[in-house]
Amino acid sequence: MPVETTWNRDDVANVATALSWQARRQPNATAIHYPHGGAFRKADYASCTYQELDELSNSYARGLAAYGIVAGTRTALMLTPGLDFFAMFFALFKAGAVPVLIDPGIGMKPLKQCLEEASPKAFIGVARAHFARKALGWAKESCELLVTAGPALGLGGITLRKLKEMGDLSSGEVMHPVKPDDMAAILFTSGSTGAPKGVVYRHRHFNAQVDMLRNAFGIQPGEVSLPTFPPFALFDPALGMTTVVPDMDPTRPAKADPKKLVDVIDRFSVTNIFGSPALLDTLSSYCVDNGIRLESVTRVISAGAAVPVSTIRRMQRSLYRDAQVHTPYGATECLPVSSISAAQFDDKLVDRIESGEGVCVGRPIEPNHVRIIRISEMAFRDLSETTDMPFGMPGEIIVTGPTCTDMYWQRDADTAMAKFGDEHGRTWHRMGDVGIMDGLGRLWYCGRVSQRVETGEETLFADQCEAIFNQHPDLRRSALVGVGPKGRQMPVLCIEVRNKLSPVDTERVHFDLLQLAQAHAITRSVRTVLFHPGFPVDIRHNSKIRREELAEWAAQKMQ
């Protein structure tokens, strides 16, 4: 029987088919290298082939069906990144169940709220997650089917080992047939600028993402990937890549040990790295300070927040000349939207960024369509109700494309605010970001719509202004916030310095920043600078600044 030339065909909707196809195509190729070791011995790496991963996933899928986790069953998944996480995620797809992914680092209260909204019938997790579930009452009204990775410890339900045994004794069909519009998963946003929301992914969204990522970045089968954000790793089997699971806390990427990352990159000849701007800052700083070049790496992809030019250039210096750093723009609701590579950051482009024109995030990735519309607090029902902004003028970014999701789970008001249609039947998503489209078709990111500062005389956008101040050598980063009621806000610059400053240096930095503000038209109204010990940032990427919290802090400091 001939092997298919591609798994992603019109008649194959279930994204889990990708794993089975790779297992037939390259059964003995390594699918995943993962940390393996107990609490009382040093962790080392174990490996699993595509055939072994597919067979384990099949056993779990049959076990899920035998236990009652069947098509349509919403299932909270809280396993640590590793072999079981990969195998179970694809097993849920194969069974037609709907995995619910929530970032465990968002905090206990938001996590409980997310689980109440998702109302999962099943809960698959490590013992620690189950202890929290019992103690804090997570989804206590909905959870009936419990699976624990490790010993049961009186947590109820069955163990993952028992689930596999049930699957091994079953001879049922593994791959549940699905349609492209069937719900595949619920992925919760990080809640960095509001409450976390469950984004409904359909099988067609995952399939489209695989195609777009492959085409946009030239990803080839046989590459070795180091994804430091676990959900991104789930694309690797569909792309034919070997995954290396890093030995790090995925909820604290900025705190990752760069030496460990360099060691694992060298050990497994990693070709592709995916990481947040915070992780790239840590890794590239270590490489540059120690004269290290990552010989095997040909591609670095960074997303999650705007990536500073300094980080991009430092990361590029850590690679060999033919390697590329890519910074795609997108969101959980639509990914990827656009992208730009380090090679495109010439001096002229950098000057424009550092002069406050925004952060260039490249041209839209085909077949996406991006528009800039007039900022509005109103919901739209149709594209015809929006007003396009001229080239070079800031407005709200909207996008439509094959990865554009169409709803939030159990949040009708948020869906109505963020989604609308057009005459062609397409769904448009409001990114919640301010942007500019230039005459060359490139998208420029200016900041979040909700974080704009309205003084009554002008409107300031955070990322445009911050790029001016972030050039100061003593600053780690800055954040522009508004203090006071909308329409009469005072722009305040909060700063985080790289190292502790003496009183004299503190005064010098303060003076320098006020001088910088006066040197640029868009920042001349900034006359207040506040030193902050350490910005609050999002949990998922450790990169998005929680400016709403900073604004409250600034207001208290100025009383």
Q: Is 515 exposed, middle or buried (0-12, 13-18, 19+ CB in 10 A)?
A: exposed
Residue range 203-212, pLDDT digits in tens: 999 999 999 9
- pLDDT score recorded for residue 192: 73
- pLDDT score recorded for residue 194: 77
Span 277-290, mean pLDDT? 95
Cα torsion through 520, 523, 527, 533, rounded to 10 = -110
Q: Is 540 exposed, middle or buried (0-12, 13-18, 19+ CB in 10 A)?
A: buried
Percent of the chain clearing pLDDT 90 (strictly above): 85
Q: How much is the pTM?
A: 0.94
In 139-267, where do the E strands start and end? 145-149, 158-159, 183-188, 198-202, 224-227, 242-244
Span 150-172, mean pLDDT? 93
What interhelical angle do 462-469 and 503-518 show, nearest 10?
130
Q: How far is CA 28 from CA 32, 83, 119, in A?
A: 12, 16, 39
The pLDDT-based confidence of 40 (bands split at 50, 70, 90) is low
User: In sequence order, what are the beta bridge partners of 309?
Assistant: none
Cα–Cα dist 81/99, whole Å: 15
The DSSP code for 105 is G
Q: Which residues contact 120 (CB under 8 A, 6 or more apart)?
A: 74, 75, 76, 100, 139, 142, 143
Fold assignment, 218-327: Rossmann fold (3.40.50)
Domain 452-557 has CATH 3.30.1010.10: no
Name the residue ranges covered by the structural domains of the chain.
17-178, 218-327, 452-557
Span 225-248, mean pLDDT? 90
CATH code for residues 17-178: 3.40.50.980
For the chain, the average pLDDT equals 93
Under a CB-based contact definition with an 8 Å cutoff, are residues 405 and 429 in contact?
yes
What are the φ and ψ backbone dihedral angles of 26, each rounded to 5 degrees? -140, 70
- pLDDT score recorded for residue 169: 95
Under a CB-based contact definition with an 8 Å cutoff, are residues 543 and 277 in contact?
yes
340 or 2, higher pLDDT? 340
Cα–Cα dist 488/250, whole Å: 40
- pLDDT score recorded for residue 415: 98
177 or 172, higher pLDDT? 177
Q: Is 417 helix (H, G, I), strand (E, B) or coil?
A: helix
Query: Highest mean pLDDT range out of 3-17, 29-43, 261-275?
Result: 261-275
Residue range 52-79, pLDDT digits in tens: 999 999 999 999 999 999 999 999 999 9
Asked if the model's pLDDT at residue 149 lies above 80, the reply is yes
**Given this chain, do its domains 218-327 and 452-557 carry the same CATH topology?**
no
Vertex 541 angle, CA 535 and 546, to 5°: 35
Q: How many CB atoms lie within 10 A of CB 324?
A: 17
Asked if the model's pLDDT at residue 135 lies above 90, the reply is yes
- pLDDT score recorded for residue 3: 33
Helix (H) or strand (E) holding 236: helix 236-239
Q: What is the DSSP string of 136-169?
A: HTTTTTT--EEEEES--TT-SSEEHHHHHHHHHT
Peptide bond into 336 cis (omega under 30): yes
Lowest mean pLDDT among 214-218, 251-255, 406-410: 251-255
Q: How far is CA 472 from CA 37, 148, 468, 489, in A?
A: 44, 50, 8, 25
109: which 2 tokens? 């209260």
Residue range 334-360, pLDDT digits in tens: 999 999 999 999 999 999 999 999 999
User: How far, in whole angstroms, is CA 512 from its chain's centroid?
Assistant: 35
